[in-house]
A and B are shown apart, each in its own frame.
Chain A
């Protein structure tokens, strides 16, 4: 099979899952009206498939900050952080993230994906080990592969399995990096951080926590799972993204280990790419302020999450183990998931469709992302539509 035939084979698999005319992946959004509504084709849809958890995409403070940066610093930096791409805003945002997490060092990356890629591949290398949750995001898997370290997976959130693997490593645990996530993106469940920290200390490992989905969502000031659990000081490295609660694009790593700063000189995903645009940095800085003071937004977000999770659970949908901004209905097969996804779109509701192998354990998911800007009426409408479609497609 030549290179192009391999792509043809992949296209055939995709076609077998998605009939002609159903463009579930990369569907074009023609116009965006607000944090909760947009136009897809000729439909005005309710957005339930974005990561806009605090609903800040149209925040006047962020938009104004971005406009000012465009006017004063231009559209792009046209260079690497290592060369001409470190503006005062990049450095200021790094300090603001470090302050937010009470850490001595912070680094900003161009995307959240690169934050994991650059941090992991900078911290570990050949001869080291990474111990990762089996439901880890692709950026974690790819960062581990790039590093050349030995990659060992433990069963999702299974602390018995994790300890078994730590025990098998013997004295290699001192060069082992454990990587977990605050909220997992597929089923929306949280890592059992207290038990993980206990094992990390028992086996003398290093711990990296990715707060991509939990930043802005958990904790009084929105730090994430570290704040909810009171374990901030126990975590060696925290990574996260700007593209969810912070409503822009980029990523960060913070740490109380000053050695983190050395990644600026060795981490390819940090060095060999252009730095975030000035407008991106400016809107992120404004959003971080809103996030820190956003306890009312978090209250509304959690009210919405609980309302939708409870409704779907009562209807009979199989869901992830706990409510959160990511609420995934687990379907038996791709066909059922596609029917439900398509049915929701026909009722003017946009959600995410996730088919194997992207979802864990060969599951098919119809995933909702709830945000603080959704009204009670919108959430009730989504719940009622899911209920109607359950009767239509899922009751035997």
Chain B
């Protein structure tokens, strides 16, 4: 996985997250998905399923336990994508 792919993932995440949140907070790599964007677990899991389709990967639910920020989610996707 190249840096370009990571950027691509970040961009897609930021675009999708901005449509899901009612928060005015600017979305950056360090933005906390739950506390800053107030995205509930159901919306997050639905977003994950969309992302899985976009990148043709499956993200195990267990791996999401360690994800709090947009960067951590992008890194996880990047790692799974590069392992395929």
Contact = CB atoms under 8 A, between A and B. Distances in A.
Contacts of A152: 58-61
B49 to A, nearest CB: 7
Contact of B56 (A129, A145, A168, A361): A168
Contacts of B61: 151-153
Contacts of B46: 361
A365 to B, nearest CB: 14
Given A356-B40, A361-B42, 15 more contacts: A134-B45, A145-B62, A150-B62, A151-B61, A151-B62, A168-B56, A168-B57, A168-B58, A168-B84, A356-B42, A357-B41, A357-B42, A361-B46, A362-B40, A362-B43
Contact of A357 (B40, B56, B58, B84): B40
Given A155-B49, A361-B46, A165 B40 contact: no
Interface in A137-192: 145, 150-153, 155, 164-165, 168-169
Contacts of B45: 134, 153
Contacts, number: 34
A106 to B, nearest CB: 30
Main secondary structure of the interface of A (DSSP, over half): mixed
A362 B20 CA distance: 14
29 contacts: A129-B60, A134-B45, A134-B49, A145-B62, A150-B60, A150-B62, A151-B60, A151-B62, A152-B58, A152-B60, A152-B61, A153-B45, A153-B49, A153-B61, A155-B49, A164-B56, A168-B57, A168-B58, A168-B84, A169-B58, A356-B40, A357-B40, A357-B41, A357-B42, A361-B42, A361-B46, A362-B40, A362-B42, A362-B43
A129 B59 CA distance: 12
Contacts of B57: 168
A21 B41 CA distance: 28
Nearest to B57: A168
Interface of B: 40-43, 45-46, 49, 56-62, 84
Nearest to A1: B35
A151 B48 CA distance: 13
Nearest to A145: B62
Interface in A289-346: none
A349 B41 CA distance: 32
Interface string A74-107: 0000000000000000000000000000000000
Contacts of A134: 45, 49
Contacts of B59: 152
Contacts of B42: 356-357, 361-362
B56 to A, nearest CB: 7
Contacts of B58: 152, 165, 168-169
B47 to A, nearest CB: 13
A135 B41 CA distance: 14
